[in-house]
Amino acid sequence: MRITMIGTGYVGLVSGACFSDFGHDVICVDKDSAKIDGLHAGKMPIWEPGLDNLVKANVDRGRLHFTTDLAEGVKNAEAVFIAVGTPARRGDGHADLTFVYQAVRELAAHIKPGTVVVTKSTVPVGTGDQICAILEEEGATEISVASNPEFLREGAAIADFKHPDRIVVGAEDSHAEAVLKEIYRPLFLNRAPILITGRRTAELTKYAANAFLAVKISFINEIANLCEAVDADVQDVARGIGLDNRIGPKFLHAGPGYGGSCFPKDTLALLQTAEKAGIDQRIVRTTVEVNDARKGEMVDRIVKALGGDVAGKRIGLLGLAFKPNTDDMRDAPSIPIVEGLEKQGGKIVAFDPVAREHAEKLMPNVEFAGSPYAVAQGADALVVVTEWDEFRGIDLDRVAAAMAGKVLVDLRNVYDRAEAEGAGLHYWGMGRGKPSHPAG
């Protein structure tokens, strides 16, 4: 199949590379000439494990191409996937579809009858209908419009694409359904389940999936608060409920709240869709409120661990990206934590294995260190913000010896309390009972 991917961001580049690895001929189009030049030189615009090798292999085989020329990119395409950003609009939380509709208007003049236009971007219910109207307005005839939402986890995107839990296709005609089935045929050989639905149903499925996962995260964070109050351990509680097949263990890890490119904007967009439809989504609305409050609570927790005052204190942060195995800083919990601590006079030093370049633009007053041990040097407190694997194996005795204070605030429950206390650290976990050492 001849496929065009509009957008070389996280979704577009991963999807395009994986489609080409299936044997399809893929052209990725982006207006950002710096991105395209970088990709021609083998430089990835995002950090995703294994992506550079996958891109190189398929470029070398002649199946993956990059261009800024939209007309050339879509000229012979049988399917055009739209994978541009749909950020939340400031103020109202609506998904901003400016880039989606702009791409549709521009490609309308160049696609041929029989082409299938597919939204890969996360878009509100009814976006496909609007795309149909735009294509008709622009004079593009006999074009099918379908929805094919992505369900990729940053840090494991390639595996998720090639071994999906499900493939959701929202199609309104048999031609679009047939084309998408042919595109995904290599996955059918592995018996990946495919769900064929109406276009609006597929659009809503993506939002419903992310909202449900956000609910699980906020739920376990609320349970963690209760565990601290009654001297219980949230990790055992999570395991106890997660072993129930009706619940499952995933997304039951207490922490500083969800962030990233999907959950924050998608929960808001779902609320806006519901409001427009006149339907109250109380659970999702409360989830958003709980998560927003959670970030402020993390600042309060660190301040409390330092005896109620952080003015002039040196606070080391381990991890800045919203999750491990990515450099994505969008809505990362580290941002409000840094802002809150700096506002109260704290001096922040931080280390992240891959997110430093992005973080430096967002955190101009933070001192960046080259290793976890450099962060610990002279710190009054050490705070685990992102659970990178390399943090799990650090020598806590060495950390404790380097620190000026002895406070370890573990926002991801990476460390064992007994081991931390054995190193002489005052351990503050998440929902793991009351701290056994006094603050400070």
User: CA-CA distance, 405 to 311, in Å (whole number)?
Assistant: 14
Q: Between the CA atoms of 384, 385, 389 and 391, what dihedral angle is there, to the nearest 10 degrees? A: -30
**212 marked as part of a ligand binding site:** no
Residue matched to tokens 């998408």: 180
**152 marked as part of a ligand binding site:** yes
Residue 306 CA: distances (Å) to CA of 218, 312, 314, 318, 383: 26, 11, 10, 17, 11
**112 marked as part of a ligand binding site:** no
Count helices and strands in the chain by DSSP H and E runs? 19, 14
**30 marked as part of a ligand binding site:** yes
Chain center to CA of 177: 28
Q: Would residue 160 be called left, alpha or beta, if left means φ above 0 and alpha means ψ between -120 and 50 degrees?
A: alpha
E-state strands within 166-308:
167-170, 194-197
> Residue 1 corresponds to which amino acid?
M
Q: 18, 132, 227, 262: which is the annotated catalytic residue? A: 262
Do residues 118 and 148 touch, judged by C-beta distance below 8 A? Answer: yes
**103 marked as part of a ligand binding site:** no
**361 marked as part of a ligand binding site:** no
Q: Return the structure tokens found at 432.
A: 């793991």
**128 marked as part of a ligand binding site:** no
3-state DSSP call for residue 27?
strand
Q: Between the CA atoms of 185, 187, 189 and 195, what dihedral angle is there, to the nearest 10 degrees? A: -80
Q: Return the structure tokens found at 167.
A: 């493939």
**254 marked as part of a ligand binding site:** yes
**115 marked as part of a ligand binding site:** no
**Phi/psi of residue 167, nearest 5 degrees:** -120, 120
Mark whether 132 is an active-site residue.
no
**347 marked as part of a ligand binding site:** no
**356 marked as part of a ligand binding site:** no
Sign of dihedral through CA atoms 423, 427, 429, 434?
positive
User: CA-CA distance, 180 to 228, in Å (whole number)?
Assistant: 50
User: CA-CA distance, 270 to 352, in Å (whole number)?
Assistant: 32
**434 marked as part of a ligand binding site:** no
Q: Could you count the other beta carbons within 10 Å of the beta carbon of residue 174?
A: 9
**255 marked as part of a ligand binding site:** yes
**358 marked as part of a ligand binding site:** no
**251 marked as part of a ligand binding site:** yes
Task: State the Rg of the chain over Cα.
Answer: 24
**DSSP letter string, 72-138:** HHHTT-SEEEE----PBPTTT--B--HHHHHHHHHHHTTPPTT-EEEE-S---TTHHHHHHHHHHHT
**153 marked as part of a ligand binding site:** yes
Query: Taking the chain, what is the end-to-end CA distance rounded to the nearest angstrom?
Result: 63
**406 marked as part of a ligand binding site:** no
**151 marked as part of a ligand binding site:** yes
Do residues 317 and 385 touch, judged by C-beta distance below 8 A? Answer: yes
Per the annotation, binding residues for substrate are: 151-154, 206, 251-255, 259, 323
Residues flagged as binding site: 30, 35, 86, 122, 151-154, 206, 251-255, 259, 265, 323, 330
Residues placed in the known binding site for NAD(+)? 30, 35, 86, 122, 154, 265, 330
Active site residues: 262
